[in-house]
Chains A and B, each alone.
Chain A
Amino acid sequence: MTATESFYHTPSPPGLKGIWAWLLTQDHKRIGLMYLWAVGLWFCIALCCGLLMRVELMSAGRTIMGPEVYNSLFTLHGVIMIFLFVIPAVPSIFGNFFLPIQIGADDVFFPKLNLLSWYLFMLGAFLAVASLFLGEGFPDTGWTFYVPFSLTTDKNVSLTVTAAFILGMSSMLTGLNFITTVHRMRTKGMGWMQMPLFTWSLYATSWVQILATPVLSITLLMVIFERVFAIGLFDPGKGGDPILYQHLFWMYSHPAVYIMILPAMGVISEIIPVFSRKAVFGYKGIVLSSMGIAVAGSLVWAHHMYTSGMSDVAVFVFSLLTFLVAIPTAVKVFSWIATMYKGAIEMTPPLYLALIFIYLFCVGGLTGLVLGSAGTDIHLHDTHFVVAHFHFTMFGGTGFAFFAALHYWWPKMFGIMYNFKKAYIGATLAAVGFIFHYVPMFILGMQGMPRRYYDYLPKFERGNFLAGFGGFLLVIGIILMFYNLLMSFRKRQVAPQDPWGGTTLEWSVPSPPPLHNFVEEPKVKAYPYDFSEVIAQAQNDQAHQESEK
């Protein structure tokens, strides 16, 4: 074994071989990859559910499924996408893999807890899918499990709720691990303002995870208690309050939106400066905005409930707070754009996907303001407009940032490069398909088409057909992107240590990294996005080439 041998060749704990070297590993990189394959699998399943739903909706009336199957399918699609893809994807995969490397550590602070988090994630995931086949069938309540339906339905709600509880615990342990790692394991000389922005975003996310997730856990426990013991917490007949559930649920689930989007923003904050060859504009502004989003985002939950019965004062306050979240978000977007301004932009698939992210996320964010203001929300509540808005934010945002991260760090994770042309075609198809898929939904929503229906009035047929057509394009684009990445294993084109000219610490280690990440003591720069050396090197290379000519 040499010091530079990759972690694939030196399992931890040492001596274990084959599958055990993975299943019992405590190495953060292996755990990150285990999350990658697991999350990828669930994503594909949820994508298939989504496509089947769109096929059903492409023409009016019953086509390939009835209302019961449709209700179960959209619940399954929602549960998997939210709890098994959008929330864990970026922090669990890329956070696990790169957070310790970015801060110059050789692992997370609690490696065994890290492995336990993966097992809890898998257990929760299997329980969620098992609830589809056990008992009376999969819940038909939607991923929100709103009472009283989740209490009175004879479908398998208890098991699904238990699954969500376990997944919440996994997410919380990961957050705890990251916070401790950042506090205790930063390499010598790395101050808070020298941490990469991706690490900062994970740090902010982790605080939301450990503070907000217990609220969901308690709420889900209350649902189980209510189903089994009928205490009456949510039943007005017994003095309970049904709106209490909504408050508690959204107290977690709205901050969860920021658990989803903050790491995605961290990814974009890494990609934009690297391919603009320019120090990120307003480093401290981005850091503060991450923390600002984490704080402000936790105070806006009730904007999901304008129509559920709240006082006018509460509606006003929550509407105002919702608008306030736009400020730190806009700080980030303007910082990215200012970073690109007059930069030496080098177009690559990660940057292309990051630009798509910025566009789609801006549309998602701005339409969020329409729903955040109480007046327009009442008109658009529970229509397809809402569906389009949150898909623009979650899928156009987190989903495309996930693809960008995958293309950005793929050479580092596997030591191989992929085909750029196929990546561009895949990303373009996915983006065009995405817009064709969701823009008609905005219009359908404004025309009054409600969400969660397997059928609709004839006047909505054209919009739904277009949306279905876009859905197919989107799925083809995604398949092409995945195919291209997977094919890179077959046509092994070895990736250099720093293919993009990155300046953060992960680009100073071999690709793929060795077991203990660093062959020599990591050198911390005074500023993590200082490209002077990269530019000087590029100029030297250019001068050398010209002198050769």
Chain B
Amino acid sequence: MRQGWLFPALFILLLLTCPFQASAEPGKGAEGTKKEYKVGDPELDVIWVDEQNGKYLPLDRTFQDETGNSVQLKDIIDKPTLLLPVYFHCPNSCTLNLSHLTDAVNRSNFSPGKDFNLIALSFNDGDTPAKAKAAKENYLPLLPKSFPQESWRFLTGSKEDILALTNAIGYRFEQRNDGTFIHPSAVVAVAADGMIIKYVYGNFISGDVDMAISEAQQGIPALSVRRFLDYCFNYAPEKTRAFFTNIKLFVVLGFVCAGGLFFLWLRRKDKKKWEEEEAVHDEHHQTGNKV
């Protein structure tokens, strides 16, 4: 049978895909229904931000502000608040996130301190109030002199408190061996009562941030606009090296097979041509002999 290769090929393909069958579509259980999960669940580790709109922050958790004072979240969230998870010695996008947020505040139609507050939360439990203070001093000059300094807190805390807060906002981060973190860039808008209202992604354009503040003032959870979710990470190509090596291997094999088939086809054509020429020659020869 001419297509005899088809079924073995399909069988091999089926075998190859079997190991992947276990990992179903993200966010879904075996029955296809949406599954409840916790941030950090390895089965669902493609999700870096799981929006928790409408839920509340753990307001009783305690952190240290940049002056070293202990503060509970409920003490500093008394009006709409923008919460930005970062870490203070980040070599990549945290600095950009902080400056984008500063820029958005500069362009905002709302008054900081009066209409909203800001929190920069370090999710690195190794960060200290001194580092927080240095970070704050770095960004305050970008804001106008009239900016009320007490309305932007730079918080650090214990691992337990940090995880309680990041889990509450569905924010996942992962520390690498080199001490850096992989984490998404997102600002979370929170209402005066601690309710999570909205997530702002990308580079926090002022219009997005203003909409989030406006919605936080109303206190009604809002749907986030799903722009590009930025990440902060050190690219590690060695992780996918095996996959790309396999792809290269398949491509080379494909070319070899295609080349082989082409060669066989050419040879067959040549053989056919040669046979035809031979037949003509023979015929001519026989005719000649007859003559």
A308–B232 alpha-carbon span in the complex (Å): 11
Which residues of chain A from 232 to 275 have any CB-CB distance to chain B below 8 Å in the complex?
A: 232-233, 235-242, 246
Kindly specify which of A112-120, A143-151, A427-435 makes contact with the partner chain.
A143-151
Does A201 make an interface contact (CB < 8 A)?
A: no
Does B231 make an interface contact (CB < 8 A)?
A: yes
Which residues of chain A from 49 to 78 have any CB-CB distance to chain B below 8 Å in the complex?
A: 66-68, 71
Q: Across the two chains, which residue of chain B brings its CB closest to A459?
A: B109
From known contacts A152-B27, A228-B25, infer whether A309 and B46 are also in contact, taking CB-CB under 8 Å: no
Contact of A450 among B23, B223, B225, B240 (CB under 8 A): B225
Does A106 make an interface contact (CB < 8 A)?
A: no
**A contact face: mostly helix, strand, loop, or mixed:** loop
Contact of A236 among B27, B107, B182 (CB under 8 A): B182
Give the A-B pair count, Cβ closer than 8 A.
116
A151–B238 alpha-carbon span in the complex (Å): 22
Does A214 make an interface contact (CB < 8 A)?
A: no
From known contacts A232-B239, A237-B45, infer whether A383 and B223 are also in contact, taking CB-CB under 8 Å: no
Does A313 make an interface contact (CB < 8 A)?
A: no
Query: Interface digits, A380-410 against B, CB 8 Å rule (1 contact, 0 not)?
Result: 0111000000000000000000000000000
Which residues of chain B from 192 to 239 have any CB-CB distance to chain A below 8 Å in the complex?
A: 202-203, 205-208, 210-211, 214, 222-223, 225-231, 233, 235-239
A457 and B182 contact, CB distance less than 8 A = no
A308–B231 alpha-carbon span in the complex (Å): 10
B46 and A148 contact, CB distance less than 8 A = yes
A383 and B207 contact, CB distance less than 8 A = yes
Q: Across the two chains, which residue of chain A brings its CB closest to B201?
A: A149
A241 and B235 contact, CB distance less than 8 A = yes
A242 and B211 contact, CB distance less than 8 A = no
How close is A257's CB to chain B, nearest CB, in angstroms? Answer: 19
B239 and A307 contact, CB distance less than 8 A = no
How close is A548's CB to chain B, nearest CB, in angstroms? Answer: 69
Does B7 make an interface contact (CB < 8 A)?
A: no
A239 and B205 contact, CB distance less than 8 A = no
Does A496 make an interface contact (CB < 8 A)?
A: no
Query: Interface digits, B234-253 against A, CB 8 Å rule (1 contact, 0 not)?
Result: 01111110010000000000
From known contacts A237-B45, A381-B203, infer whether A151 and B240 are also in contact, taking CB-CB under 8 Å: no
Interface centre among A140, A148, A149, A381 (most CB of B within 10 A): A148
Which residues of chain B from 13 to 49 have any CB-CB distance to chain A below 8 Å in the complex?
A: 17, 20, 23-28, 34, 45-48
B48 and A450 contact, CB distance less than 8 A = no
How close is B243's CB to chain A, nearest CB, in angstroms? Answer: 6
Contact of B223 among A67, A307, A449, A456 (CB under 8 A): A67
A229 and B210 contact, CB distance less than 8 A = no
A482–B69 alpha-carbon span in the complex (Å): 70
Q: Across the two chains, which residue of chain B brings its CB closest to A238?
A: B239
CB neighbours (8 Å) of B278 from chain A are none
Contact of B46 among A71, A140, A152, A457 (CB under 8 A): A152
Contact of A308 among B34, B211, B228, B239 (CB under 8 A): B228
CB neighbours (8 Å) of A489 from chain B are none
How close is B51's CB to chain A, nearest CB, in angstroms? Answer: 10
From known contacts A154-B28, A239-B236, infer whether A68 and B223 are also in contact, taking CB-CB under 8 Å: yes
Q: Across the two chains, which residue of chain A brings its CB closest to B42?
A: A237
B202 and A382 contact, CB distance less than 8 A = yes
Contact of A229 among B20, B207, B228 (CB under 8 A): B20
Does A516 make an interface contact (CB < 8 A)?
A: no
Q: Across the two chains, which residue of chain A brings its CB closest to B232?
A: A236
How close is A109's CB to chain B, nearest CB, in angstroms? Answer: 22
A149–B203 alpha-carbon span in the complex (Å): 16
Does A126 make an interface contact (CB < 8 A)?
A: no
Does B174 make an interface contact (CB < 8 A)?
A: yes
Does B158 make an interface contact (CB < 8 A)?
A: no
Contact of A71 among B20, B28, B223, B228 (CB under 8 A): B223
A149 and B223 contact, CB distance less than 8 A = no
From known contacts A152-B27, A236-B182, infer whether A452 and B225 are also in contact, taking CB-CB under 8 Å: yes
CB neighbours (8 Å) of A148 from chain B are 46-48, 229
A235–B182 alpha-carbon span in the complex (Å): 10
CB neighbours (8 Å) of A449 from chain B are 207
CB neighbours (8 Å) of A241 from chain B are 235
How close is B230's CB to chain A, nearest CB, in angstroms? Answer: 7
Does A448 make an interface contact (CB < 8 A)?
A: yes
CB neighbours (8 Å) of B46 from chain A are 148, 151-152, 226, 230, 232, 235, 237
Q: Across the two chains, which residue of chain A brings its CB closest to B23?
A: A230
How close is A309's CB to chain B, nearest CB, in angstroms? Answer: 7
From known contacts A148-B46, A452-B227, infer whether A240 and B207 are also in contact, taking CB-CB under 8 Å: no
CB neighbours (8 Å) of B227 from chain A are 146, 382, 452
CB neighbours (8 Å) of A448 from chain B are 107, 205-207, 210
How close is A394's CB to chain B, nearest CB, in angstroms? Answer: 21
CB neighbours (8 Å) of A453 from chain B are 211, 225
A315–B240 alpha-carbon span in the complex (Å): 27
B208 and A450 contact, CB distance less than 8 A = yes
A232 and B240 contact, CB distance less than 8 A = yes
A307–B99 alpha-carbon span in the complex (Å): 13
A67–B223 alpha-carbon span in the complex (Å): 6
Interface centre among B25, B28, B211, B233 (most CB of A within 10 A): B25
A455–B223 alpha-carbon span in the complex (Å): 11
A453–B211 alpha-carbon span in the complex (Å): 9
A141–B236 alpha-carbon span in the complex (Å): 27
B20 and A228 contact, CB distance less than 8 A = yes
A-B contacts, 21 listed (Cβ < 8 Å): A66-B223, A68-B223, A71-B225, A149-B229, A151-B46, A152-B27, A153-B27, A154-B25, A154-B28, A227-B26, A236-B182, A237-B182, A239-B238, A307-B203, A383-B207, A450-B205, A450-B225, A453-B211, A453-B225, A457-B210, A457-B211
> Which residues of B pack against A, CB within 8 Å?
17, 20, 23-28, 34, 45-48, 93, 107, 109, 174, 182, 202-203, 205-208, 210-211, 214, 222-223, 225-231, 233, 235-240, 243
**5 cross-chain pairs, A with B, having the tightest CB-CB distances, nearest first:** A239-B239, A450-B207, A67-B223, A236-B233, A229-B20
